[in-house]
Amino acid sequence: AQSVTQLDSHVSVSEGTPVLLRCNYSSSYSPSLFWYVQHPNKGLQLLLKYTSAATLVKGINGFEAEFKKSETSFHLTKPSAHMSDAAEYFCVVSDRKYGGSQGNLIFGKGTKLSVKP
């Protein structure tokens, strides 16, 4: 069965410093992995996705994530935090149990990112 574990429920950084949000996954298949962001009172937005192409994935707003199969990790990083990055971030794996390329998403519990001025 697929699952994701987000190692930190809350991360606090200062504006202009690097961001690291950690995620480990468990998957029976070659996984498709995503990071979604949820700002208060707004819908979930896709930041980036990994689908077995390049292991370093670049997303929107300067975020990127690296797929490391040996460590079963998919950590999200950003070189310099901005105040507008404050939000809840979800690491997600696609459950490809249908055998094809479509599947429902399995979410981690989320990491709340706070950015201090």
Partner 1 sequence: GAGVSQTPSNKVTEKGKYVELRCDPISGHTALYWYRQSLGQGPEFLIYFQGTGAADDSGLPNDRFFAVRPEGSVSTLKIQRTERGDSAVYLCASSPVPKLHVSEQFFGPGTRLTVL
Considering only residues 51 through 90, tell me which ones interact with partner 1, judged by CB under 8 A.
51-53, 90
110 interacts with partner 1 by CB under 8 A: yes
Does 7 interact with partner 1 (rule: CB under 8 A)? no
The beta strand positions in 3-110, using DSSP E, are 3-6, 10-14, 19-21, 23-26, 33-38, 44-50, 56-58, 64-68, 73-78, 87-94, 105-107
Least distance to partner 1 from the beta carbon of 70, Å? 22
Interface with partner 1 in residues 13-42 (CB under 8 A): 32, 34, 36, 41-42
Please tell me whether residue 2 binds partner 1 under the rule CB under 8 A. Answer: no
Number of C-beta neighbours around residue 29 at 10 A: 13
Using CB under 8 A, count the residues that bind partner 1.
Answer: 29
